[in-house]
Structure 1
Amino acid sequence: MCVAWTSSSQGAAAVTTSDLVGLRIKTVRRQRGMSQAQLAHPELSDSYVSLIESGKRTPTPSVLELLAQKLDCSLSYLLNGVTAEQMEDIELALGYARLALENGEVREARTRFAELLENNNLTGLTALRQDTEYGLALAVEACGDLDEAISILRRLQAEELSPERRIEVAIALCRAYRVSDRLSEAVKVGEDILGGPARPAWSDALVEFGATLLAAYLDSGDLLRARQFAGELLNAADMLNTPRATVAAYWNAALVAESTGHGEESLSLAERALAVQTENGQPRNSARIRMAYASMLLRLRPTAVEEARQALLRARQELAQTSASTTDRANSEVELARAALIAGDHEQAIVHGEAGQALMAGNSRALEAEAHLLLSRAKGALGRQAEAEAELRGVRDWLEPLPDSRRAARTWYAAAETMEVLGDAEGSADLYRRALACAGL
């Protein structure tokens, strides 16, 4: 059976770059017991067929389809070394893996992507193999194995990729570095593409990438650069006027506004991002923004604690039904612990804090430190002094190896306040000094 020719870039690339096309034609011709002259007659010359088989000529799409018909084989086999049926099986398996990831079945997705990569028929299908590796990286990230995800993404980044795939890989890599608290590496990934004079024209994907870089600027404490770049992203999003660009730019600009003391502006930007995302976006990202908005609400309007708690509970439910990473799910529990602590429900704060710790795999030291800090405060409020002090030691253990950053400085400061409440004046003074040093003061 002959497969209809497609003029897609993937097909064209396979014809023009694969030296194996001619060899496949030669192999099938010999299997059919045909000479070059018999294969060529009457449309082609036998010398032209010889040049194709030796790799000295690249057949046009119409010639390749003609040869497939004469050889009674699929065009897919001549192009890729697999039959049409094998190609269909590969695409079906890839579709199932993507569906598992989208449905939040992240371990199943990881297994499916990994099994597909073991298929020898995938070796010569560069675009599909890259799709599979990228899917595996996202599944591994969602399972909380950030180091492995980074390793896969770095391998992909070193390959020749389509412009769209290169941006997708860069977004995922920048995000994984940032969540792993490897902020300088996250910034480098972003600036390698966005920081030079040859920056591509703004698109949805590029604005989303810029938003990931902006978050890294913010976490590293570079507030001046963050404020300037937030303005660039907002202008780009307004120019594109698409839901994806709007959400990415407005949400991250809201975080910058909060960090620079513009609380009401921050909530206004965040509310617009959440409204657009809820109406147009994917459930996983809707849940993540809802969770982050609730956290912002707790910081800026502590009296709205019940509203924030309901938003967090909804986000947790949404995350459980999507391809959310364990870090996302752990973060939802940590924020619920914070809400319970603000509401004075210390027992519930402990339940959520410990649930968050159980989901963590040691990949986000800053989040681990925050969980220990909230547990220390809750246990201290319940008079469980020894346990509270042990949790504070956990804060130090998780923060010590981290590079200086705004987030780390904030957690050191909060730990110092907690230690002061627990009555350790000398220890709290030491932590205050650590916070100031971390902030560069």
Structure 2
Amino acid sequence: MTTSDLVGLRIKTVRRQRGLSQAQLAHPELSDSYVSLIESGKRTPTPAVLELLAQKLDCSLSYLVNGVTAEQMEDIELALGYARLALENGEVNEARARFAELLANNNLTGLTALRQDTEFGLALATEACGDLDQAIPMLLRLRDEELPSERRIEIAMVLCRVYRDSERLTEAVEVGEQMLGGNGRQWTDLLVELAATLLSAYMERGDLLRARQFAAELLNAADVLGSPRSIVAANWMASNVAYATGHNEEALSFAERAMAVQLENGQPRSIARMRLALLQKRLRGRPAEAAAVRDVLRKTVAEFEGTSTSTIDRARLHMELACAEYMTGDLDKAAEHAMIARDLLPEFGHVLGAESNLLLGSIYGSTGRLDDAGRYVANVRDWLVPLPDSRRSAATWYATAETLEQLGDSDGAVEAYQRALACAGL
């Protein structure tokens, strides 16, 4: 049924409940034939006529328009607000349950915009819980509906991100390019943020030339827009590209500019995730600062737990903290955080899981527990084999080969070197 059909049906239902004829409802402002056309869905009443009919029927305008009373609408909006607040505060399981409960409310069926907001919130909460395979179909279903342009871009950005984090890089690129192509490069803050997500997918699949070109385009767009959101997104991705191509100090310069703007304007989740990535760059680019970075990372754990960062975000944090602990010589703490990182991830099929096992192998190898070290390094295969070929997978296979060689497993090292070459397309 169309919206006009539903509005007409509600007017007819309430009129009959009040014991009124069409002529009685119409008199004296309207004709009974006009009321008949409205009730049959053949005419769409103006807002003024709807307000008049609501008064004559002694019911709320909200009920005639949406099928819910003003009180029910208030309850729905309040429940949606609580769900959003739970997500923002990092209570991701609570947020997921609240969004799902709200979607089960039959009163939401006729409220298209609120239902779409709730479904999008559920997809975000599901992503934050680390259930990427469940978040994807939610986003795809929502994308197929009639949506406001900004919401369509938001969905494309989240879908691109979820595909990227699921190592489905071809699909991530397709989603981002399709949306950007359809907007003819008329840059807005949202499109710059979408483009930044797409750029990260280019980098993950090893297309660094395209990434460098795209990063320059985003910096130009941000300069024209001059808004904090676009400046943060463009400078952050320029930092990532510089870091990936070996320009560490340039990468830190871009990253620090992005972080300074983010601290003044960003949301807690965005600030937390950017802080982690900046610390990662410092740890890799300035190893002499490892102890200082480790201390900040320890404090960042509480920050992550208090925001809507996903389980994969938290796995990245613990993995980075494990690396910092390893670099500063606290091997027990390094092993503890590497295991936390691995346990936060879905079972297999994520490169971060491979990296955590590889680090555990290095830790136990350093302490002479070679059997344990070999077991963890062997587990790397289980995490990497399901993944598509990418630059990051190639690097992890190569590091695995080097570790196996150090542990005396020559055959395993040869196989891992071959896997690395295959991932690199050689």
Report the TM-score, using the length of structure 1 for normalisation.
0.94
What is the deviation of 1:200?
5.5
Q: Distance in 1 between matches of 2:298 and 2:270?
A: 15
What is the deviation of 1:424?
2.2
Q: Distance in 2 between matches of 1:84 and 1:295?
A: 50
Matched, 1:277 2:290: no
Matched to 2:82, the amino acid is Y
Partner residue, 2:394: 409
Q: SS of the residue aligned with 1:19?
A: helix
| The one of 221, 235, 240 aligned to 1:250 | 235
Q: Distance in 1 between matches of 2:153 and 2:301?
A: 29
Matched to 2:189, the amino acid is D
Matched to 1:291, the amino acid is L
What is the deviation of 1:257?
1.1
Q: Distance in 1 between matches of 2:405 and 2:139?
A: 44
Partner residue, 2:173: 187
Matched, 1:134 2:83: no
Q: Distance in 2 between matches of 1:381 and 1:76?
A: 68
Q: Is the 8 A contact 1:237 1:245 kept in 2?
A: yes
Partner residue, 1:266: 251
Partner residue, 1:301: 286
Partner residue, 2:99: 113
Report which stretch shifted further, 264-273 or 199-208. Answer: 199-208
Matched to 1:150, the amino acid is I
Q: Distance in 2 between matches of 1:141 and 1:362?
A: 16
Partner residue, 2:326: 341
Matched, 1:421 2:406: yes
Q: Distance in 1 between matches of 2:81 and 2:135?
A: 20
Partner residue, 1:168: 154
Partner residue, 2:382: 397
Q: Distance in 2 between matches of 1:428 and 1:40?
A: 86
Q: Is the 8 A contact 1:370 1:395 kept in 2?
A: yes
Give identity over the alignment, percent: 67
Q: Distance in 2 between matches of 1:422 and 1:74?
A: 75
Q: Distance in 2 between matches of 1:423 and 1:150?
A: 42
Q: Distance in 2 between matches of 1:377 and 1:341?
A: 9
| The one of 24, 32, 36 aligned to 1:50 | 36
What is the deviation of 1:362?
2.7
Q: Is the 8 A contact 1:204 1:244 kept in 2?
A: yes
State how many pairs are aligned. 426
Partner residue, 2:356: 371
| The one of 15, 28, 32 aligned to 2:14 | 28
| The one of 241, 247, 251 aligned to 2:226 | 241
Partner residue, 1:221: 206
Q: Is the 8 A contact 1:258 1:266 kept in 2?
A: yes
Matched, 1:145 2:131: yes
Point out where structure 1 has 5 or more consecutive residues left out of the alignment: 1-13
Q: Distance in 2 between matches of 1:401 and 1:412?
A: 13
What is the deviation of 1:315?
2.4
What is the deviation of 1:91?
0.7
Matched, 1:287 2:260: no
Matched to 1:119, the amino acid is N
Partner residue, 1:332: 317
Partner residue, 2:50: 64
What is the deviation of 1:376?
0.7
Point out where structure 2 has 5 or more consecutive residues left out of the alignment: none
Partner residue, 1:212: 197
Deviations 1:181-236 (A, max 9, x none): 1111111110111135x435211111111111000000001111111111111111
What is the deviation of 1:364?
5.6
CA spacing shift, 1:88–1:273, aligned 2, 3 Å = same
Report which stretch shifted further, 420-429 or 295-304. Answer: 420-429
Deviations 1:150-191 (A, max 9, x none): 111111111111111111111111111111111111111101
Partner residue, 2:26: 40
Partner residue, 2:84: 98
Q: SS of the residue aligned with 1:195?
A: helix
Report the TM-score, using the length of structure 2 for normalisation.
0.97
Partner residue, 2:143: 157
- Cα RMSD after superposing both structures: 1.5
Q: SS of the residue aligned with 2:206?
A: coil
Q: Distance in 2 between matches of 1:18 and 1:288?
A: 46
Q: Is the 8 A contact 1:142 1:324 kept in 2?
A: yes
Q: Is the 8 A contact 1:253 1:266 kept in 2?
A: yes
Q: Distance in 2 between matches of 1:440 and 1:428?
A: 18
What is the deviation of 1:413?
1.2
Matched to 2:53, the amino acid is L
Q: SS of the residue aligned with 1:124?
A: coil
Q: Distance in 2 between matches of 1:372 and 1:363?
A: 11
What is the deviation of 1:406?
0.8
Matched, 1:88 2:81: no
CA spacing shift, 1:363–1:194, aligned 2, 3 Å = farther
Deviations 1:90-137 (A, max 9, x none): 111111111111111111111111111111111111111111111111
Partner residue, 1:124: 110
Q: Is the 8 A contact 1:179 1:364 kept in 2?
A: no
Q: SS of the residue aligned with 1:265?
A: helix
Q: Is the 8 A contact 1:145 1:363 kept in 2?
A: no
Q: Distance in 1 between matches of 2:30 and 2:46?
A: 12
